[in-house]
Amino acid sequence: MKLKLKNVFLAYFLVSIAGLLYALVQLGQPCDCLPPLRAAAEQLRQKDLRISQLQADLRRPPPAPAQPPEPEALPTIYVVTPTYARLVQKAELVRLSQTLSLVPRLHWLLVEDAESPTPLVSGLLAASGLLFTHLAVLTPKAQRLREGEPGWVRPRGVEQRNRALDWLRGGGGAVGGEKDPPPPGTRGVVYFADDDNTYSRELFEEMRWTRGVSVWPVGLVGGLRFEGPRVQDGRVVGFHTAWEPNRPFPLDMAGFAVALPLLLAKPNAQFDAAAPRGHLESSLLSHLVDPKDLEPRAANCTRVLVWHTRTEKPKMKQEEQLQRQGRGSDPAVEV
């Protein structure tokens, strides 16, 4: 019995040693768990690579965004505005100047119908923040509206618009603001913007790249919802107007713009104060362009971006009554 126990013990010992040896041998052996480990390591390597790529991307300066051209590269828009003293003058000029403030690269040529600059207009221009040239020229007596004459009998603002053309051509004589005319070779466009119309800021971008004479419709004019060129296949083929359609250019003053180089190349082109009613625009344009070469803008003349609004003349009945009693509104307050 004793011997048997000893044998069992021996067998147990041997089996244990064999197990231990087997385990020791197995430790040094490659095992079939390696391929998945390799795949995991490869994945990690790929991720590291991607991270360092992304880090490099982050360090790189961002690409320049698609930006509008630098303002210096834009042609200048010369806006010519004749103006005359009246009760609503300041209101009209404030409204217009604040519209013009929304337009980059714009130069306002404000021409007073006056012998010399008035403090109201000088002050308004100085406060406007706009690049401007202040001009003044009195309309000759023979051309002035007589008391009681309706406004359409004589064209208004002729002398003033011609004064602005003269300044652009180097005529000098500015009474305020920028005194030097555009240097030779200046890229620009000239637009005649009366102080009573309403202008969309979009209109100015439509005219900026005018090559010769560009045109578009004008709203609320000529007794119509709008007047303007008729366009076919991108060319002007006629005009939508009810009144004297046979005028060479049945266009409103607010309905066209002229490239500055073209105006400078035609030194005789100006407005004719003696032009018959409705022919003032034609008197300038017939020096400059053939109607078929007009450049339609504002989506082939299908969008109205300027309106011929008229400000009502304010009634001053109470003011006059108070003035007779010596109690009128303080004249020191500018209106």
Ligand X SMILES: *[C@@H]1O[C@H](CO)[C@@H](O)[C@H](O)[C@H]1NC(C)=O
Nearer to ligand X, 72 or 233 (CB): 233
Mapped to the 3 state alphabet, what secondary structure does 238-302 carry?
Answer: EEECCCCCCCCCCCCHHHEEEEHHHHHHCCCCCCCCCCCCCCHHHHHHCCCCCHHHCEECHHHHC
194 marked as part of a ligand binding site? yes
- Spatial separation of the C-alpha atoms in residues 157 and 20, rounded to whole Å: 115
Q: What would the x/- binding string for ligand X be over residues 195 to 234, using CB under 6 A? A: --------------------------------------xx
Residue 190 burial (CB count, 10 A)? 25
User: What does the DSSP assignment read for 166-233?
Assistant: HHHTT-----EE--SPPPTT--EEEEE--TTSEE-HHHHHHHTT-SSEEE--EEEETTEEEEEEEEET
Q: Is 310 marked as binding a ligand?
A: yes
- Binding-residue pattern over the window 285 to 314 for ligand X, x denoting contact by CB under 6 A: --------------xx--------------
- Alpha-helix residue ranges (DSSP H) falling in 60-157: 89-100, 119-128
Task: Tell whether 48 is in a known binding site.
Answer: no
Min separation Cβ 254 and ligand X, Å: 20
Nearer to ligand X, 218 or 298 (CB): 298
- 276 assigned ligand-binding residue: no
Closer residue to ligand X in complex, CB, 68/234: 234
Question: Binders of ligand X among 231-250, rule CB under 6 A?
Answer: 233-234
Query: Comparing C-alpha atoms, which of 85, 177, 165 is closest to residue 131?
Result: 177
- Listed residue (144, 151, 83, 153) closest to 118, CA to CA: 83
State yes or no: 83 annotated in a binding site. Answer: yes
Indicate the residue whose CB is closest to ligand X.
Answer: 234
User: In this structure, how many other beta carbons lie within 10 angstroms of the beta carbon of residue 23?
Assistant: 9
Q: Which is nearer to ligand X, 192 or 239 (CB)?
A: 239
d(CA 270, CA 65): 44
Q: How far is the CB of 234 from ligand X (least distance, A)?
A: 3
Q: Which of 112, 159, 281, 295 is catalytic?
A: 281
Residue 147 catalytic?
A: no
Nearer to ligand X, 274 or 299 (CB): 299
Both tokens of residue 94?
């404030």
Minimal distance, residue 299 CB to ligand X, in Å: 5
Q: Is 82 assigned to a binding site?
A: yes
Interaction site with ligand X (CB under 6 A): 233-234, 299-300
Binding site as annotated, residues for Mn(2+) = 196
Please give the positions annotated as active site: 281
Detail the residues annotated as belonging to a binding site: 82-84, 113, 156, 161, 194-196, 308-310
